[in-house]
Amino acid sequence: MRTRIAPLAVACAAALLGSVGAVVAQSSEPIQPIVPPQQVNLGLVELGKKLYFDPRLSKSGFISCNSCHNLSMGGTDNIATSIGDKWQRGPINAPTVLNSSLNVAQFWDGRAADLKAQAGGPIANPGEMAFSHTLALGMLESIPAYVREFRQVFNKPKIDIEQVTAAIAEFEKTLVTPNSRFDQWLLGKKDAMTADEQAGYQLFKTSGCVACHNGPAVGGNSFQKMGIVQPYKATSPAEGRSAVTGKEIDRFSFKVPTLRNVELTYPYFHDGAVDTLPQAVDVMGRLQLGKTFTKEENARIVAFLKTLTGDQPSFMLPVLPPSGDTTPRPNPFK
Amino acid sequence: MRTRIAPLAVACAAALLGSVGAVVAQSSEPIQPIVPPQQVNLGLVELGKKLYFDPRLSKSGFISCNSCHNLSMGGTDNIATSIGDKWQRGPINAPTVLNSSLNVAQFWDGRAADLKAQAGGPIANPGEMAFSHTLALGMLESIPAYVREFRQVFNKPKIDIEQVTAAIAEFEKTLVTPNSRFDQWLLGKKDAMTADEQAGYQLFKTSGCVACHNGPAVGGNSFQKMGIVQPYKATSPAEGRSAVTGKEIDRFSFKVPTLRNVELTYPYFHDGAVDTLPQAVDVMGRLQLGKTFTKEENARIVAFLKTLTGDQPSFMLPVLPPSGDTTPRPNPFK
């Protein structure tokens, strides 16, 4: 028996060493690869996907989660500030939903602790979907196929807003983007990045960008003041974290945005005032680090940032259950 | 050799007879099954799918073809009249894009001969996407991945609007909905419809509905006056076919809408004034046929109509190529 165990033990030891080696290599980097979610409730995901795409959760019947967090477009709307009910101008740039499960909190000011707490916000926000939780639940309860699906997933007699937000949040948990060229490089594929891109990553680290943009999401895990060295002249009235904490010291402090898929999530900053990556890198260098990057440095950092684009969520467009004869009809012009 | 051919000949004759039998059975019905498109250019389809979902074809960067012809919702927006740029109220109900390749012409008044001619309309309509063909082409030409894909498909040096509309139309050709329970019944599965549904179909034929709602699309192949026996009090100013022909006799004549997937394409009629199928069947009976259906008759016809819901288009949500640094940015609030 000992002779039969020996090769296995050797193999295990090798695997262990290999694994330890990889962990060491990764932990020496301030950015870690995106890992797909490891515990997902598929029934919740499928229900949440439908809700995410259902404009009947808005007063107008026209705006869904996907309108402003468009999964064809990096989980954003690529507009400086979003369009709400009756074409209202939103106060802030719609952050990407991609990898948002990795955020320390949700919204730019972190006023929601997690995705579940976030999901109910826009539905009832008069400037966004302009509905109410009560009306949304009435709509869902009037649609037999939704009633059955909620019952299948939650096994409760009535649909409540907790179920709605739990389903949307579970779907959003799946919206991660692994397998970027940067992650492939982190995981050992050394030719996954060009020399310029690697030089850009070194600059990103040595210049101090990585002080805030770190972790698997390359951001999203802390709040920082916008305009540390030089003030930022925002086009938006948003005051940031102080709106949540009530503390003056948190004024103009925002959640550091993830840089995952940043190539797709333009325009940039909480007011969406900057259109391109070269401009964004320039502004960040000067305002946050007191550093003016040369044209070459800027180009290298931008080249690195573009290696952070991962596999986009890939799924069938959901087909929504039709309204019933008693489902209240939206009137977007009232 | 003769003995070896004989069984084949018998088999062929049997197949031929079977086929003739099926054709006879079908041709005796005024409605034929939906057949998936038989010649499709897949490169065009994939490009057209992206364009169909791309809100950058609108001035605001917010409205795509899919906004009003939502493929999660029966190819419509389920709103009486659509929402256009700056929340303008559209003049007419958005017809479903599903099976629209079977229509005799496009738009309610048939002003576009085919899908290709239709596709350019909303992009440049100031009340819908409010863009221009020139601006749309400039946007596309500024996005390297689009330039490559157009070149791959069309092999031409420049993108033009003919290419854009050809691609969208080719994608739309794929948006057919075969395999409804009614089609299964037509094709020989006699238990695909309940007795009530079959009775509804008989009523649909004997009452005269089928005079206009016939062919594979159960409509879409002729123009008819809305309000033949009794006038229809429309909530919309649309005058119908006369806007195209200039003839007084065509006033208030509209393309007969397809009844395929009619369960999903509420609200009904060119002004979207009627919310439910029972109401629509009642109005049609009285105004077009001078007939008041009993509650039971109405319910049976509605039950038949719900068997016309086919397999909805099933495809991966497309991922759009990101804008380049020189791509003009939309400003929806200007």
Instruction: Give me the domains of chain A, ranges plus CATH numbers.
Output: 42-173 (1.10.760.10), 181-306 (1.10.760.10)
Instruction: Mark yes or no for CB contact A266/B319 under 8 Å.
Output: no
Do A91 and A127 meet the contact criterion of CB atoms below 8 Å apart?
yes
Do A313 and A49 meet the contact criterion of CB atoms below 8 Å apart?
no
Task: List the one residue out of A233, A129, A275 whose CA is nearest residue B326.
Answer: A275
- Confidence band (pLDDT; 50, 70, 90) for B15? very low
Question: What's the confidence (pLDDT) of residue B27?
Answer: 59
- Nearest by CB to residue A79, choosing from B71, B317, B330, is B330
What pLDDT, in 10s, does the model give residues B245-296?
999 999 999 999 999 999 999 999 999 999 999 999 999 999 999 999 999 9
Task: Tell me whether strands B83-84 and A253-255 are parallel, antiparallel or unpaired.
Answer: unpaired
Residues of A in contact with B319 (CB under 8 A): 72, 312, 314
- The answer to whether B318 faces chain A, any CB pair under 8 Å, is yes
What DSSP letter does each residue of A94-110 carry, written as one string?
Answer: ----TTGGGSSSBSTT-
Token couple for A299: 């180009």
A82-116 CB burial, b ≥16 within 10 A, e <16: bbbbbebebebbbbbbbbbbbbbbbbbbbbbeebb
User: Comparing B42 with B16, which gets the higher pLDDT?
Assistant: B42
What pLDDT, in 10s, does the model give residues A123-170?
999 999 999 999 999 999 999 999 999 999 999 999 999 999 999 999
Instruction: Mark yes or no for CB contact A330/B275 under 8 Å.
Output: no
The CA distance from A25 to the nearest CA of chain B, in Å, is: 32
Nearest CA in chain A to B317: A317
- The answer to whether B267 faces chain A, any CB pair under 8 Å, is yes
Instruction: Mark yes or no for CB contact A333/B89 under 8 Å.
Output: yes
- The answer to whether A277 faces chain B, any CB pair under 8 Å, is yes
pLDDT, averaged across chain B? 93
User: Comparing A14 with A69, which gets the higher pLDDT?
Assistant: A69
Whole-model pTM: value is: 0.92
Pick from A62, A264, A282 the residue to mutate for testing the B interface (most B CBs within 10 Å).
A62
Question: What's the confidence (pLDDT) of residue A127?
Answer: 95
Instruction: Mark yes or no for CB contact A323/B83 under 8 Å.
Output: no
Pick from B52, B72, B76, B96 the residue to mutate for testing the A interface (most A CBs within 10 Å).
B72
Residues of A in contact with B61 (CB under 8 A): 77-79
Which residues in chain A (213-252) have CB-CB distances under 8 A to chain B? Answer: none
Question: What's the confidence (pLDDT) of residue A19?
Answer: 45
Instruction: Mark yes or no for CB contact A276/B89 under 8 Å.
Output: no
Reply yes or no on whether the pLDDT at B214 is more than 90: yes
The CA distance from A314 to the nearest CA of chain B, in Å, is: 7
- Confidence band (pLDDT; 50, 70, 90) for A8? very low
Reply yes or no on whether the pLDDT at B33 is more than 70: yes
- The answer to whether B320 faces chain A, any CB pair under 8 Å, is yes
- Asked if the peptide bond before residue A178 counts as cis, ω within 30 degrees of 0, the response is no
- Confidence band (pLDDT; 50, 70, 90) for A236? confident
What pLDDT, in 10s, does the model give residues A275-284?
999 999 999 9
Token couple for A304: 């690195």
Reply yes or no on whether the pLDDT at A86 is more than 90: yes
- The answer to whether A72 faces chain B, any CB pair under 8 Å, is yes
Question: What's the confidence (pLDDT) of residue A318?
Answer: 98
- Nearest by CB to residue A79, choosing from B62, B266, B278, is B62
Query: What are the backbone dihedrals phi and psi of residue A210, each rounded to the nearest 5 degrees, phi first?
Result: -70, -15
Do B174 and B48 meet the contact criterion of CB atoms below 8 Å apart?
no
Nearest CA in chain A to B306: A322
Q: For a pLDDT cut of 90, what percent of chain B falls above it?
A: 90
- Confidence band (pLDDT; 50, 70, 90) for B4? very low
- The answer to whether A328 faces chain B, any CB pair under 8 Å, is no
Instruction: Mark yes or no for CB contact B79/A60 under 8 Å.
Output: yes
What pLDDT, in 10s, does the model give residues B68-114?
999 999 999 999 999 999 999 999 999 999 999 999 999 999 999 99
- The answer to whether A61 faces chain B, any CB pair under 8 Å, is yes
User: Which residues of A are tagged catalytic?
Assistant: 128
Reply yes or no on whether the pLDDT at A190 is more than 90: yes
- The answer to whether B275 faces chain A, any CB pair under 8 Å, is yes
Which of A26-30, A58-62, B287-291 is the least confident region?
Answer: A26-30
Reply yes or no on whether the pLDDT at B13 is more than 70: no
- Confidence band (pLDDT; 50, 70, 90) for B331? confident
User: Comparing B235 with A77, which gets the higher pLDDT?
Assistant: A77
Question: What's the confidence (pLDDT) of residue A332?
Answer: 96
User: Comparing A254 with A2, which gets the higher pLDDT?
Assistant: A254
Gap between the terminal Cα atoms of chain B: 81
Burial class (CB in 10 A: 0-12, 13-18, 19+), A286: middle
Residues of chain B by 3-state class (helix, strand, coil), percent to 5: 45, 5, 50
ipTM over 0.85: yes
Reply yes or no on whether the pLDDT at A258 is more than 80: yes
Token couple for B233: 């009090």
Q: How many angstroms from the chain centroid is the CA of residue B14?
A: 37
Q: What is the mean pLDDT of residues A252-273?
A: 97
Question: What's the confidence (pLDDT) of residue A235?
Answer: 85
- Confidence band (pLDDT; 50, 70, 90) for A6? very low
